[in-house]
Structure formats: structure tokens, C-alpha cells
Structure 1
Amino acid sequence: MGLKFAFTGGREGWIRALLTGVGVGLGVALLLLTAAIPNAMQAREDREYARMDFAIDDAEPAKPDNTVLVAHVDTEFRDLEVRGRQLEPEGPRAPLPPGIKKFPAPGEMFVSPALKELLDSKDAGLLRERIPYRITGSIGESGLIGSGELAYYTGGQGLVEFVDESAISRIDTFLATKGASEQETDPVLLLLVLLVFVVLLMPVGVFIAAGVRVGGERRDRRLAALRLVGADSRMTRRIAAGEALGGAFLGLAFGIGFFLIGRQIAGTVELFGISVFPSYLDPAPALAVLIAVAVPAAAVAVTLLALRGVVIEPLGVVRTAKPARRRLWWRLLLPLGGLGLLAPMIGQGSGNGTFNEYMVAGGVILLLVGVTALLPWVVENVVARLHSGPVSWQLAVRRLQLSSGTAARMVAGIAVAVAGAIALQMLFSGVQDDYTEPTGQEVSRAHVEISLPAPVSLADAQRKLAGTPGVRRTVAVSTTLLGVSRKNPESSVGLTVGDCAALRELAKLPSCREGDAFTLRGSWPDEETVELAEPGRKLFVNPTFEDSGERTEAPWTVPRDIKKAVPYKDPTGFERSGFLMTTKALPTAVASDISGIVHARLDPSVPEALEMVRNAVAEIHPLAIPTMYAPNERSQNYDTIRTGLFVGAACVLALIGASLLVSQLEQLRERRKLLSALVAFGTRRRTLSLSVLWQTAIPVALGLALALIVGLTLGGVLLRMTDTAIRVDWTSVLAMTGIGAAAVLAVTALSIPPLLRLMRPDGLRTE
């Protein structure tokens, strides 16, 4: 009978069922999306391994007819990463990378759909200059890790002479094996992952619980009518459970529909640099079954718990009499229990093994559930003390005094989300220093380092870069080794070659003119350099090692008047050792066989200076690699988890807004006759609109205040668990609180048009 009531009752019944289905369905859709995340991450990883294009083993395959030369020609365009590969097949059986059916010819390229769209846009002129190849095909889904990935393959020519360069690989397959170099994940990072899932899913559960209680007051009146015709209290509870079950089943259907729609939309959206294909979002069967069972079970449980505080009699619902005041003691047990579960792990840090995941999850859940338990008590006790004010204020306060529980339910989800977000933000901010290391790079001296392959003329490259708009200064040096023999020397030291201006950037020189050579004597004793710097000793520039391939070596005799120099740190923070040599002192035989580096300092006032430098580097040689300097470097695993938090938070925020809007519309629909009556008695529409705003603002303010207290408490405990000093980033905390308040205000603004429509005289009509 309850299942039947969920889908009958005319227009009112269908509207009630629709609101319940939408409210529960939004939560189910997000749960299904969460259940699909492990498969999506695994699919991205599988695609990455399927196109791996460097040899895993130390030894590259010999050159038979089934190998291909692959050059990495990646680039960046305005903080967008572009994956580029040059391919040169070495035989008819050369392997093709996934996603393309033939090798592009030199001057041609296959591009991903996202890159083609970017190249076709009006503001991508600099990128088109950097990748000037003709588009002759596209990369299929099997060759991309996400729908928004920017990638291209182009034909290569003459790559064999660069095989010794680090950016070139000779491979016979594009498939790599997994697990070869997997490392244990840091316990703190595992804690972060667990907390992200718990904190993001808690508001979803709260909203599903609120969704199944849509139309609760009208339902209770229907149950009173059933008591009048003979149903006892146990029957009414079973009927209510059946009605909730019907709404939950409808919510599951809506949720599956929303998920399938969102799955398709996900293929066109990129969040924080992460994109997926719809086929990736395939929920794990076990998790999908768990959701299908848990949501109806939760609907029944929430309904039965809600009816415990309502007396349904044949002549009406005893709800308007003065209710018993809510008790505080059992509500405090939840957060105290959560703190009790987390307390044993305080001070554990990352050196005492992994955190107990069950205790962590249980403790955080109890603390956040404590927000939903404490909020009704806080709202009830605060609004009971609110009295005088304008008419809109009095209308709002009186409504809250009569049914503070409904208002608290609406705000509970946003309060839980904000409390969890504050705690996570505190934890991320507190531990980020542990995953951020200074690089030692001095961005005041240089912004970009350009590594050139050996055959490229260093002088020509420096002139090209110096003439590029936006470049203030360039410093160019070449690096190689000096050894005691031509082949596999037992002893060798570094050799840096450049003009006098460049060498002065690296060391304090007594004097310098072309043809000079210097030995570096740093703050530590370098016995090998002292031994090789003996005047008259014969050394060999650019000696050959077993793994370095064919190269040119040249003899060089240490001058009797060789000068001593004190090394400085270069822009990368590295202090060189060995020898310095001016360009004219270098044997001409090896001048074209050693690689060069150019440091460039940019003018920040020139727009697109970095992009023009990247274009100039691409013109110098496709295999030249520009690298941006940065004072700090952050752990990739930490950044990945942080990005996942932002993506999940965006999805949860969208759910919060949609669910709040559904709840608000349901509340207005419940009060349609009351609003129409107030308008008929002469109440101004502006007054009623303000009263609705106050009815939302008061519980939201109380909920955010409670969320602030619980979030700071939880954040402090988590920081102590990771053995980190408690620090509060008030800017971020207030930003999280402000985002929650803004979401509620936006929902309230969206509910004003329906409110104005409800405030019509025909709202008093009854049949």
C-alpha cells in the first residue's frame, strides 16, 4: 500500500514523487560516479602503459626491421601540456603506437581532437607556428588517456644520428609492463586519499537522507487519515516505510539516468587538467550493488527514525503542540566518540606505519555526523531566543520556531561539506611543506634553460634566442668530460666551455681572455681534479664510454700556466667542479660533438615572452628542450591527490546546489496555501521574499558557525596525527565558509521566481 501511495494521489502525489526522485537521484548519481573512479583511474593508467615509448630495460634493442625511433617533442602552451612524438620507422614491421593506423610522413602529423580544436582557435597562432606540420589524421581514443588530452604524432627524419640523446628511444613495442618500479605510498598520502573520499561522500549521504523525507508533513497527514479508517500505529509505520521505499526506487532510476547523462557530459569536460572518456566511467559491480541496496535501506531507516518523534492519531498529527526540547547529551557522544577513535593515532606521523583506516574513517564519520546531530539542537535553542524585528524577520523566526528540524535538515548537508572542507584544507596546508622541496634554482638569474642536442651550433642558438622578443639576457655553455684515456677512462672530471662572460657566471676568475683554461677549486677538496690538473699532463676531451655510442675524442694538454678559479653556483643551484675552458681553447675536433645549454632571462613586461622563446627553440631544433625554472618543486603524488580533491569538491558542490534547490522548492510547495493566505490578507510580496531569505540565512549562519568549530577541531586532530604543528590558514578557512554561504544564497535567489508564482490568490483554491 505504501509503494502504491508513492506513485498515486494525483498531481500532488506525482510532484512529491518527482521531487523525492530528483533529490535522491542526484545523490545516487554522485555515488555511482565515485564508484566509477577506481575504474577510470585504472583505464587511464592502462592507456598510458599501452603507449609507453621508452625501453624499460637498460639495453635498447638492436636495429632489426621491427623497430621505430621515437623522439619526445613535448611542449607547453600557456600552462597546457602538449604531448608530442616524432616517429621514424626502421623497417616494415615497425610497431605503430595505439590510436593511429599508419606512420605520418615527415611534415605531416596526426593530432588528438582536443589539440585540433585548440589549433583551429583564434588565439593559438603561436602554437601553430611551433607545430607547423600539416594535419592529415587524428589520434583515436585508444591512443589517448583522456578526451581533453593535447597530443600529436609527426613524422621524423634523420633521427638515427641523435639516438644517444636522452629524448630519443629505439623500441620494438609500445607496450610496457606495470609494477616494475612501484614504491610504497607515504602513509600521510594514504591518509589524505582516505579523507578525501570520506569527506566528499558524507554530504552525499546527508542529502540522500534529506531527499527521502520530501513531503514529510503531507505524508503524516495522510497517515492520520489511514488511522481514522482503522490502521494501527505499526501499520502506518510500515506504510510510510513502503512509501519511502518507492521514492528510493524512483531515486535509483533517476540516479542511473543522471549518471548516464553525466557520463556522456564527462567526455566533453576537463577539470583541473583531468579528462576522461565516457567508457572509463564504469562503476565496479560490487559497489553498484552496494549502492542499490544501501539507498533503499537508508530510506526506510531514515523514515522510521523520523516517525519516532511524531504521534499520528486518527484525528490528526500531534506535531503542533509544544514539543519536548531536544536533548544534548547523546548528540555530544558522536563527536566525542570520533575524537576517541582518532586520539590513539596522534603523533604517529609518517614514520610509524600506515594509519588504521577503519579508525580514521570511523572517527571522521562520527565527527561529521555529529554536525548533523548537533545542528537541530543549536538551531532550536538559538531561534527560541529570537523575538522582535521587522515583519519579515518575525515571520521567518516564527516559522523556524515551529519547525526548526526541517530548516536544520536543509542546511545539514552544506554544514557537513564545509566542516570536512575546512579540515582537509588545514591538513593539506599543514603537510604541503613536507612534499615541497626547494630546487635551488635562481629565477632572478634565469627563467628558462634550453638543452641543445650535440650537432646544433651553440653560438647560432644563442644568437637566435638573444634576438627573440622578450629575452633580456642569454648565457651559453657546453659541457662534457675530461678523461685520462680515450676509451672508458678510469678517472674523469667535468669540463665546461664558454666565452669569458659565461664563465664568469659560473666562477670567480682572476682574469679571462679567449684561449684561457681554468681549474676549479671549490670549498671542498677535489682530489681527482687536483690530480688531473697537473701541468703538462695529457688528457682527452669527450672520452667514449661503453654506453655512449660513437663519439669524437680529442687530446688536450694541461697548460703550464693554467689558472685557478673559485666556483659559483649556476642558475640551477649546481656548483661545478673540474675544468673551465674558453671556446678557443677547446680542440676543434670535438666542438660539434658536445651538447650545449643556454640560460635565458625573460622580460616579464613582454606578453607571451615565454611562448615566443618556445617557438624560437622549436625553430633551432625540434629536439631542443626548454625547461622552466621554479624555486620549489612539489611531489607529484601530493599534487594528484590535491587535484582529485578539487575535482570531487566541484562535483559535490554541484550536488549541494541542486539538492538545496529541490529542498527549497519542496518547502515552498508545502506552504503554498499559507503564502497565498498571507498575500490575501495584505502582506507585501517583498516582505514574504525577505522572510524566505531570513528562514534560509539564520540556519545557514548557525550551520556554518558549527561547521567552522567542528572543521577546525578535526583539522587540528588530523595535523597532530601527522605530527605536524597546528596552523590555521584563515584565508582558506574563510574562503571555504564563504563558498558554502554563496551556494545557499544562490539557491535562495533561484527560488524567488517560484515563490512569486506561489503567492497568487488561486493558491487558496481547493478541490
Structure 2
Amino acid sequence: MNLRQWGRDLALGFRFAFAGGREGWVRAGLTAVGVGFGVALLLLSTALPNVLSARHDREQARMDYTYDLTEPPKADDTLVISDVDTTFRDKDVRGRLMEPEGPRAPLPPGVSRFPAPGEMVVSPALRKLLAADGSALLRERLPYRIVGDIGESGLVGSQELAYYAGGSGLDARIDGSRTARLTEFGDPNPTTEEPDPVLVLLNIVVIVALLMPVAVFIAAAVRFGGERRDRRLAALRLVGSDSRMTRRVAAGEALAGALLGLALGTGFFLIGRQVAGSVELMGVSVWPSYLDPSPALAALVAVAVPSAAVLVTLLALRGVVIEPLGVVRAAKPARRRLWWRLLLPVAGLAMLYPMVGQGRDNGDFNQYLVVGGVLLLLVGITALLPWLVETVVGRLGAGGIAWQLAVRRLQLSSGTAARMVNGIAVAVAGAIALQMLFAGVDGQYTEETGQDVRRAQMQVGLPDGVPMAATVQQFADTKGVRKVTALWEGYLGDTSWDTETGPGLSTELTVGDCAALREVAKLPSCANGDLFVLEGAEYSVDGPALNRPGRKLYLESYGRGDVAEVTWTVPAGVGTARSITDPAGSRRGGFLMTPAAMPEDVARTVRGELYLSVDESVPDASDHVRNTAARVDPLADPTNWTATRTSVRYDSLRTGLLVGAVCVLLLIGASLLVSQLEQLRERRKLLSALVAFGTRRRTLAMSVLWQTAIPIALGLLLASVVGITLGGVLLRMSDTPVGVDWASVLAMTGTGAGVVLAVTLLSLPPLLRLMRPEGLRTE
């Protein structure tokens, strides 16, 4: 057989797809829509690496942290910038104060000119938020006049909230962390971090588990309308074509639908690409320009989808005998064999087994074995599910009329029912395995902060020199604040901090009233004017050694060269106190000082840390605190406390999984709905005949529900078994104790069942329209 003959037969199938009247167009359209959804998600997946790279590059390009006390000298090309990030309700707002020190000061990406003091440039999303009703607290916190927008090059996402405001006197606030002097934006010390093998493993499994259902759906979509197609092929045999030619013609029909689906999928992707620029999902937003697929991967999709359509059709027809007078599929098919179907998951487990116990201490996981093993296990579901459905429905017996109609239909076409469920079963199995893996390794990427959220729920860091009494009163009067524990802190050394080596001995200095000091130490007695030295400190243990009356100690000035070094002489009569765990979770050391014992020059050098007990039942209590902090000092740093902290990279990967899972679930729902409508369309005359003979519509609707419920129940059962098995193997590979997160298993299976239930309910209106006697009319 030469290529010319193949081409002629494929072209004939092409013509049948589009020249077969309304039936041909409907089938081609349904196939194209099903394939189009899958192609759109595949193209989105090929664009994801570019999304991650673009977001990282944007973040690096605007970086303004130096983490260095040796700032460049003031010049005409320097800029002083301060981090004034904030949070409004549950949304993070990136904020910077800028003060250019010369005409050649560097502009941040996306900003065309420096705003003057009292002015700011904002991101489009922040401009919209500030203008919205209910944002009065944020407008109060950002009392600047908007004079422009930040361009796309200065934002990591379209919905990012960010602003740059003009500042003054910032050079006196340089501390090497929140305020710095720059000559250019960008990471001054880029480093390449060694990849975490477990996170790499998570990445691989996430990608495979999300893309596998897409491939299954595309394979199912190209087989829409299979029964009607087979009857047309029987007519072809009647006019003289042989069996091989009919299969090639069928492949041509599938190819036509796949190519149309490729075009539709590209359109869906381009529409989704534009829509993506206006939405935020789980705190993540992108620019449409990020969603440019890799040319090589896009070309692979363009070739793989039509090729898969042809191969799937040819393989599907291998077990079908198409004769001039009909299709032998209508007879009882041979029972499916189990042994070769078990080989796929067994081979997958064999590929993963050599990496069991490897963990993160024994190098990287073999990516080929991981991909191959996970693929074979998930593909094993698609091989085992038809056998399971056929075996179970073949043993189902008597019941109501709706039950019998459903069971008989499943017995006649169990393969079609299994194909409908395959995709969702694969998706649920992958989700269960990933949830088990995430739950198992979560403790490795989550650490205790030590913050006692029972004693305080917020902390406010204040720059040095902020007056103590008036500031405490402002926070005490803030709406929603129940208690303020105010501690002013600094560091003392036995020699000057400005030398190359620094002091030999150093310790902490903590200033507060007696109530506040009792939060950090067990005091024998306390009155304003008392001094104490702490014993039992966790880290700063030099306090008792420095407690010699008449000894001169030097206060650290946080790298500020414009401030004269402050000294303090240890007086006689310093009491002793025992350190206890403070609200932040540490046992501090050094000296405790009440306000009356603090010299005036010391008060200008120490900085405040306020621990606030907040009534969380008060609406926007945290935002009221942030507004007070902004009034006290623009560089005040209010933060909400949490008992635990999660690794940023791990948290980003988990967020990516959730975003991808939402997209796959949408695809599952859309594809199942298309498949369900195609099944109903093919059985239109049968349904109409049953109604014409007096069958109740409710009975037929229940039979359709049973036809969906039985395969999905079996599919979810199989998915749970495979998912738990895969999850257990992945946990052993990461050297983590195996434990089944039953809540996640139930949640994933429940979600899958919920999607199917929603699709079934959406298909009921078309079903009722089809169940009319007029459906028997034919031409």
C-alpha cells in the first residue's frame, strides 16, 4: 500500500466529515469541541515554563534589596528607596518610597519619572481598588496623589497591587535592609540555588498528573459518534471498499475532527490568554504576554494531536468487523482479558521501585523513570477500567425499569461508558497521589515560627527614634486593639560598633514599662526607674559579664554614619531577673530598663517592637492597626502573626497544583458534557420510541443517571486504589512515612463525583427535548 492510496482514503474520510450533511457536521463539531478543550489546555501547559520564567525575571529586574551595610556614597546616580509593603484585608500591596539623589538616579522598571513627595504612581489594579467602595481604610493609609501608572514591565502580574511614592529625608533612614541606597535595580548578588530533589519530584508528578487526563480526553473525543460512523462504514463496504480502506476512511474522519479541534483549541487558547490578563486565581495573576507557548512544544502539540487521532481510530477499529450488511459490534463481544492490563501498573511500579527510600540526601531522582512509572500507573487505569465495568455490569441483575434500562445499555456498550469515565478517573487518581505526597512532606517545608498567637496576634516594628509613650497610646486607642505590649530594643557592646571587628562582648537592651517587661522576664519587683540584667538567656548571654558599675557600653546605630555613637554607663544597683519566653518565642538576654531609667540619647537610638492583642471579631481590625502604624511612621512594619511558616517554593508549587487542578476540572466538566450530549444524540430515536410506547420521562431520566453513576462509581473506586498506591510509592521514594490522608481521598473522589453529577444535571434539559415522539421522524 503506497502513500498515495493512504492520502486518497484519508481525503475521502475528510470529505465524509464535512459533506455528510447535518449529521456529519454535528459529529465533526462535537469531536472538534472535545479536542479543542484538550488542545487549549495542552497549549497552556506548554506556556507554563515561560510564565514562571517571566515572573521570575520581572521580580529580579526590579529587586531593590542590597542586604549590605556598606552602601555606595551619595552621588548624582544614586537613589534611596524604602520598603513600605502593606496588606489590605487579604491582599498584599507592594509599596516603595523613593528619593532620587541626582539627575541620573535609576528609575524602577515600568516607571517613566520619579513622583514628587506626596505623589505616587500605581499599578492599574491598585488604582481600581483605591477607587472602589469599601477601600476608605486603604485610601487613608496611602495619602498620596496619583500622578501615573506603573507599566507592565514593572509588575509581575496584571492584578498585582503596587505603588511607588515620593519620599524625603530617606538617607537618614538607611539601615541596609528596609531602606537602601542604589545605583541600579536588580539582584546585586545573583546565586544559583541547588534544586531540592523532593521539590523536583513534586514538579514532575504535578505536570504528569495534570496533563495525563488531557491526553485521555483527547483520545476519547476523537471517537465521538462511533456507532453512527460504523454504520456509514458498512455502507462503504456495500459499495465495494475493503476493510482496510474503510478503516483509513474512518481515520480520515477522525483526522478532520482533530484538525478542526486543533484550530478551535488554538482559538480557545488565544481567548483564554486574553482573559487570563484580567483575572487572579489563588493570588496569582499573569500578563497575556507571559502565555506564549514554546515554539517547539507548540509544534509538538500540532503534530501529536492529529497523529493520535488517526492512531486511536485505527486501534479502536481493530476489534470491529465492518461488513456490507452491518457491524459485528452489535453481537456479544469477546470478554476482555485482564492479564495484559495488569502489566501496565506493574511495569510502572517496577520503574519507580529502584528509587524507594532515596529521599533528598541521595541525589536527584531519575526523571525518566519517574515520568515513565507515573505514566504507566495512570495509563493502567484506562486499561483496567473497561474490564472492571464489563465484569461488574455483566453480573448486575434485576431491579426497577430505570435500573434495567441502564444496566442493559451498559452491558451492550461498556467500552463507551468506560471511555467517558477514564479521564476523570485518571485525574482523581493523580490528585489523590499528589495530595498524599503533599500531606506527607508538608512538615519538611513548614516550620514553627515560635510566635505565641494566644498572647499577641500582630507585631509592629518601629524605626529608632519614635517616641514611646505617645506611640503606645495611639495603638491602645486603635479600634480593635485590646492590649499593647511595647518594648523598645537595641544592642550594647563593650567597644565601638564602627570598628572592623566590632565589639568583643555584646548583648541586648530592652526598654518597657513593668507590665511589658513581665512578658519577657520573671521580675522580683518592679517600679519605674528600675534596671535589671537577665539570666537564662537563649542566645545573648553576655549581659552578666557586662554588668559592672561604671562600665561604658556602646549602642549599635544600625550602620547610620550620620548619627553620633551613643554610650551608656552601667549604674550601680542593677537587679537580676530570670528570662522567660517572650511573645515572639525566644528567651532574650541583656539588660532590662524601665522608661525613667532610660537616658534621652538612648531613647533616640532604640527602636520599638509592639506586640498587639487584637479583637478579631472587629471588622478590619488589622487594617485599623496598619493605618495607625502608617500615621506613626511610614516605615513602621506591621505584620500578622501565624503559628507556622511555609517554604515559599513549596507554597508556590502547591498553589500551581491548585490552579492546574481547577483548569483540569473545568476541562473534565466541559468534555464530559460534550460526550454526554453526543451519547444522547445517538440514542435520540430509541428514546423517542420508548416515550411513544408509554415509558415515563422520569424513568428514562433515572436510567441516564444510573448509566452515569455506575461507571463513575467503579472509576472512582479504581482511581482511589491506584492513587493510594502511587501516593504510597512516592512517599517511600521521598523517604517519608506512608500515611493515607483519608480526608483528601474523600475530597478528591467527592469532587470527581460532583463534577459528574453537575454534568448529568446539565444534560437533563437536552434529554427532555429529545424524548419526544417527533424524534421518530426520518427522511
Q: Counterpart in 2 of 1:40?
A: 51
Given that 1:61 and 1:171 are in contact with CA atoms closer than 8 Å, whether structure 2 keeps it comes out as yes
Q: Counterpart in 2 of 1:221?
A: 231
TM-score (normalised: structure 2)? 0.96
Q: Counterpart in 2 of 1:293?
A: 303
Q: 1:444, 1:525 → 2: CA distance?
A: 24
Q: Counterpart in 1 of 2:6?
A: none
Q: Which amino acid aligns with 1:477?
A: L
Q: Counterpart in 2 of 1:509?
A: 523
Q: What pairs up with 1:649-660 in 2 under 5 angstroms? A: 649-660=661-672
Q: Counterpart in 1 of 2:553?
A: 540
Cα drift, residue 60 of structure 1: 2.3
2:187 to 168, 176, 199: 176
Q: What pairs up with 1:598-677 in 2 under 5 angstroms? A: 598-677=610-689
In the alignment, structure 1 residue 233 sits paired with structure 2 residue 246: no
Q: Counterpart in 1 of 2:534?
A: 520
- Superposed CA RMSD in Å reads 1.6
Greater shift in the superposed pair: 750-759 or 511-520: 511-520
Question: Could you say what secondary structure the match of 1:94 adopts?
Answer: coil
Q: 1:603, 1:323 → 2: CA distance?
A: 69
Given that 1:24 and 1:248 are in contact with CA atoms closer than 8 Å, whether structure 2 keeps it comes out as yes
The one-character-per-residue Cα deviations of 1:599-652 (angstroms, maximum 9, x if unpaired) are 111123322211111111111111000122211111111101000000000000
Question: Could you say what secondary structure the match of 1:453 adopts?
Answer: strand
Q: Counterpart in 1 of 2:591?
A: 579
Q: Counterpart in 2 of 1:456?
A: 466
Q: Counterpart in 2 of 1:427?
A: 437
Cα drift, residue 234 of structure 1: 1.3
Q: Counterpart in 1 of 2:8?
A: none
Q: 1:384, 1:567 → 2: CA distance?
A: 74
Q: Counterpart in 1 of 2:160?
A: 149
1:350 to 352, 355, 360: 360
Question: Could you say what secondary structure the match of 1:174 adopts?
Answer: coil
Q: 1:172, 1:30 → 2: CA distance?
A: 43
Given that 2:83 and 2:97 are in contact with CA atoms closer than 8 Å, whether structure 1 keeps it comes out as yes
In the alignment, structure 1 residue 71 sits paired with structure 2 residue 85: no
Question: Could you say what secondary structure the match of 2:103 adopts?
Answer: coil
Q: 1:112 to 1:247 in 2, by over 3 A?
A: same
The one-character-per-residue Cα deviations of 1:395-454 (angstroms, maximum 9, x if unpaired) are 111111111100100011011101111111111111101111111111111111111111
Q: 2:374, 2:538 → 1: CA distance?
A: 52
Q: What pairs up with 1:255-334 in 2 under 5 angstroms? A: 255-334=265-344
Cα drift, residue 561 of structure 1: 2.2
Q: 1:585 to 1:378 in 2, by over 3 A?
A: same
Q: 1:525, 1:388 → 2: CA distance?
A: 76
Q: 1:322 to 1:112 in 2, by over 3 A?
A: same
In the alignment, structure 1 residue 396 sits paired with structure 2 residue 409: no
Q: 1:240 to 1:258 in 2, by over 3 A?
A: same
Given that 1:552 and 1:590 are in contact with CA atoms closer than 8 Å, whether structure 2 keeps it comes out as no
Cα drift, residue 523 of structure 1: 6.4
Q: 2:248, 2:194 → 1: CA distance?
A: 51
Q: What pairs up with 1:96-135 in 2 under 5 angstroms? A: 96-135=107-146
Q: 1:557, 1:89 → 2: CA distance?
A: 40
Question: Could you say what secondary structure the match of 1:69 adopts?
Answer: strand
Question: Could you say what secondary structure the match of 2:47 adopts?
Answer: helix
Q: 1:556 to 1:49 in 2, by over 3 A?
A: closer
Q: 1:524 to 1:209 in 2, by over 3 A?
A: closer
Q: What pairs up with 1:561-576 in 2 under 5 angstroms? A: 561-576=573-588
Q: 1:525 to 1:673 in 2, by over 3 A?
A: closer
Cα drift, residue 762 of structure 1: 2.4
The one-character-per-residue Cα deviations of 1:567-591 (angstroms, maximum 9, x if unpaired) are 1121111211121122222222232
Given that 1:6 and 1:243 are in contact with CA atoms closer than 8 Å, whether structure 2 keeps it comes out as yes
Count of residues in Structure 1 that have an aligned counterpart in Structure 2:
764
Cα drift, residue 524 of structure 1: 7.3
Q: 2:512, 2:110 → 1: CA distance?
A: 45
Q: 2:285, 2:269 → 1: CA distance?
A: 16
Greater shift in the superposed pair: 496-505 or 74-83: 496-505
In the alignment, structure 1 residue 379 sits paired with structure 2 residue 389: yes
Q: Which amino acid aligns with 2:334?
A: A
Q: 1:653 to 1:525 in 2, by over 3 A?
A: closer
Cα drift, residue 57 of structure 1: 6.3
Q: What pairs up with 1:486-505 in 2 under 5 angstroms? A: 486=496, 487-488=498-499, 489-505=503-519
Q: What pairs up with 1:56-67 in 2 under 5 angstroms? A: 59-67=70-78
Q: Which amino acid aligns with 2:660?
A: G
What percent of counterpart residues are identical? 65
Q: Counterpart in 1 of 2:602?
A: 590
Structure 1 residue ranges without an equivalent (≥5): none
Given that 1:538 and 1:555 are in contact with CA atoms closer than 8 Å, whether structure 2 keeps it comes out as no
Given that 1:541 and 1:590 are in contact with CA atoms closer than 8 Å, whether structure 2 keeps it comes out as no
Given that 1:553 and 1:590 are in contact with CA atoms closer than 8 Å, whether structure 2 keeps it comes out as no
Cα drift, residue 105 of structure 1: 1.9
Q: 1:543 to 1:735 in 2, by over 3 A?
A: closer
Q: 1:526 to 1:214 in 2, by over 3 A?
A: closer
Q: Which amino acid aligns with 1:520?
A: L
Question: Could you say what secondary structure the match of 1:477 adopts?
Answer: strand
Q: 2:686, 2:131 → 1: CA distance?
A: 57
Question: Could you say what secondary structure the match of 1:347 adopts?
Answer: coil
Q: Which amino acid aligns with 2:696?
A: R
Given that 1:544 and 1:550 are in contact with CA atoms closer than 8 Å, whether structure 2 keeps it comes out as no
In the alignment, structure 1 residue 691 sits paired with structure 2 residue 721: no
Q: 1:253, 1:164 → 2: CA distance?
A: 57
Q: 2:357, 2:400 → 1: CA distance?
A: 52
Q: 1:64, 1:50 → 2: CA distance?
A: 22
1:12 to 4, 23, 46: 23
Q: 2:732, 2:80 → 1: CA distance?
A: 52
The one-character-per-residue Cα deviations of 1:646-697 (angstroms, maximum 9, x if unpaired) are 0000000000000001101111111111111111111111111111111111
Q: 1:131 to 1:352 in 2, by over 3 A?
A: same
Given that 1:221 and 1:317 are in contact with CA atoms closer than 8 Å, whether structure 2 keeps it comes out as yes
Q: 1:198 to 1:621 in 2, by over 3 A?
A: same
Question: Could you say what secondary structure the match of 1:751 adopts?
Answer: helix
Q: 1:527 to 1:256 in 2, by over 3 A?
A: closer
Cα drift, residue 543 of structure 1: 4.6
Q: 1:39, 1:557 → 2: CA distance?
A: 60
Given that 1:552 and 1:589 are in contact with CA atoms closer than 8 Å, whether structure 2 keeps it comes out as no
Given that 2:123 and 2:151 are in contact with CA atoms closer than 8 Å, whether structure 1 keeps it comes out as yes
Q: Which amino acid aligns with 2:155?
A: L
The one-character-per-residue Cα deviations of 1:554-577 (angstroms, maximum 9, x if unpaired) are 443323322111111211112111
TM-score (normalised: structure 1)? 0.97
Greater shift in the superposed pair: 257-266 or 179-188: 179-188
Q: 1:525, 1:648 → 2: CA distance?
A: 45
Question: Could you say what secondary structure the match of 1:308 adopts?
Answer: helix
Given that 1:106 and 1:157 are in contact with CA atoms closer than 8 Å, whether structure 2 keeps it comes out as yes
Q: 1:353, 1:499 → 2: CA distance?
A: 54
Q: Counterpart in 2 of 1:529?
A: 543
